[in-house]
Structure 1
Amino acid sequence: MSRSSSGFVAALTAAAMAAVGFLAYQASANAPEDLGREPAAKSPGASGPESPAKPKPDQLPAHSGTGERVVYSLRADRVWLVGEDNRAQTSYRVTPSSVDPLPGSYRVTSRSESVVGSDGVPIEHVVRFAVTDGVVIGFSAAVDGSTPKPDPDKRTGGIRQSRSDANVMWKFAGEGGKVVVVR
């Protein structure tokens, strides 16, 4: 290859790379936030473009859908129960499980009034909505009212709530109800 043709190929390659980079930037700017991305490890105190601020308790997260739905923020460890008018009826903190659901939109697949959780704890008002890596994910309350942090060595999917919050979720999220998970 001559010196001038190798320079031409290098310039053409650089132009193609710039075009691909621009298109990727445009696509990311127009994509819904966090949907379909793998969960990232949570790092305490992280900030900057890779870790936007946690939503305020009364502020529904951006890109969390429309209509009646449960919104679960992985980053904030918080749930919002949203009515048809797109306004949060209530919001509260939860204790996440050791396995997070992927961000996206789901439907409540099943409910149980009272069972034993995957961690061996008696639970109530179970609202299941996802399966991640073979682990069933759902909201629940421990009958004894505890909300301990999950054992990181056990793969569990129970997102724990207080008993009173679980009662509100139980009344709100029937089978087929929408659940939106955001970062």
Structure 2
Amino acid sequence: MASSSSGFVAGLTTAALMTVGFLAYQASANVPADLGRPHTGSTPAVAASKAPRDKEQPAALPAGSGKGERVVYSVDDDRVWLVGADDKVRRTFEVDPGTVDPAPGVYTVTSRSNKVTGTDGVPVEHVVRFTSVGGVAIGFSAAVDNPAPAPGNTARTGGIRETRADGDAMWKFATIGHKVVVIR
């Protein structure tokens, strides 16, 4: 009796492992190829002008930047808007981009780090990442004590630098899964 029950348990274990392996294979085969890239179909309209959108009010939220709660980042204007669910701007501020820009599109916050060292060797805090381009992580961060990058550093950087106060606001606003809209 003992040998037949151990054989039965071994058979069940083998079947379970095969099922888990098969399901893992199916899951990996169905991962979207565009994971971490802009989502087509939800890409906002892109303004044609490279100049600030509203010369009278350069901090005004650009038309075509989406709907609902989101972070809007303009790569041409070097500006960020934190927008509430009611489509009202909660905060806007200028940023200093890295050397690698994300493509226009709709992303989500994929990871966050409280304190790390940036690819330029500068200690940063409140890092909010939303994509990568050519192996370079792209995200918002604030330099601790605003030190200058190391001289001669030619690293490709995706850090979009904010002031510490703006970095604190971004950290509180943009949690994992939060929408980030990148526009021109």
TM-score normalized with structure 1 length: 0.69
Provide the identity percentage: 58
Q: What secondary structure sits across from 2:176 in the alignment?
A: coil
Partner AA of 1:72 in structure 2: Y
Alpha-carbon shift at residue 91 of structure 1 (Å)? 0.3
Equivalent position amino acid for 2:51 in 1: A
Classify the secondary structure of the residue corresponding to 1:113.
strand
Question: d(CA) in 2 for partners of 1:159 and 1:153?
Answer: 16
Q: Which amino acid aligns with 2:112?
A: R
In the TM superposition, what is the alpha-carbon distance from 1:153 to its structure 2 partner?
3.7
Moved over 6 A (4+): none
Counterpart in 1 of 2:138? 137
The alpha carbon displacement at 1:147 in A equals 7.2
Q: Considering only aligned residues, what root-mean-square deviation do their CA atoms show, in Å? A: 2.3
Q: Which residue of 1 aligns with 2:12?
A: none
Q: What SS does the aligned partner of 2:175 have?
A: coil
Q: Secondary structure at the match of 1:131?
A: strand
Do the aligned partners of 2:129 and 2:139 also contact (CA within 8 Å) in 1?
A: yes
Whether contact under 8 Å (2:69, 2:87) holds in the other structure is yes
Residue of structure 2 equivalent to 1:53: 51
Q: How many angstroms apart in 2 are the aligned matches of 1:133 and 1:181?
A: 17
Q: Give, as a single letter, the amino acid of the residue that structure 2 aligns with 1:98.
A: T
- What is the TM-score normalised by the length of structure 2? 0.69
Q: Is the 8 A contact 2:114 2:125 kept in 1?
A: yes
Match of 2:104 in 1: 103
The answer to whether the 8 A contact 2:69-2:86 is kept is yes
Shift of 1:171: 0.4
**How far apart, in 1, do the equivalents of 2:52 and 2:148 lie?**
21
Alignment of 1:1-183 (within 5 A): 32-34=44-46, 51-55=49-53, 56-146=57-147, 153-183=154-184
Cα distance in 2 for partners of 1:147, 1:161 equals 14
Q: Deviations over 1:67-118 (max 9, x none)?
A: 0000000111000000000011110000011000000000000000001111
- Tell me how far apart the structure 2 counterparts of residues 78 and 166 of structure 1 sit (CA, whole Å): 13
Give the distance between the partners of 1:78 and 1:65, measured in 2 at CA: 16
Which sections of structure 2, spanning at least 5 residues, go unmatched?
1-42
Give secondary structure in 2 for the equivalent of 1:140: strand
Amino acid at match of 2:162: Q
